[in-house]
Amino acid sequence: MSSIDLKVFNELKDATGADFIGELVQAFLEDAPAQIAQMQSALGGHDAESFRRAAHTLKSNAATFGATDLSGLARELEMLGRENNLAVGNRLQVLEEAFDQVKNQLNELIR
């Protein structure tokens, strides 16, 4: 199962150039764990607005690379934050697992 929509990824690669796509991917792979950590911290501090902002950023960035499942999970969490509902259950863990799959696939694509 592919974590990345290759059509979206290849369109981005064509638009940015093969050299620059690697830099974009690396920036995303460095930023996404920070967004996830922010979400965890916001969850612990009952800060729905920080949680929502981090989820929104992750959603948008994931969508840029065609990581549709990861983007969808982040969108779901963003909506919970918007509703001031931080009863997210195991969704953050599911999001982290989805990110790991995306990370592995993106690393393969930029080799």
Six-digit token string for 39: 């979400």
Six-digit token string for 102: 């995306």
Q: What whole-number distance in Å separates Cα of residue 59 and Cα of residue 55? A: 6
Please tell me the pTM assigned to this model.
0.94
pLDDT digits (tens, 9 = 90+) for 48-57: 999 999 999 9
Burial of 90 (0-12, 13-18, 19+ CB in 10 A): exposed
- Residue 4 — left, alpha, or beta (φ > 0 → left; ψ -120 to 50 → alpha)? beta
> With bands split at pLDDT 50, 70 and 90, how would you rate the model's confidence at 19?
confident
Contact assessment for residue 65 and residue 9, using Cβ atoms and an 8 Å cutoff: yes
pLDDT digits (tens, 9 = 90+) for 31-75: 999 999 999 999 999 999 999 999 999 999 999 999 999 999 999
CA proximity to 35, closest of 79, 4, 78, 72:
78
Contact assessment for residue 27 and residue 63, using Cβ atoms and an 8 Å cutoff: no
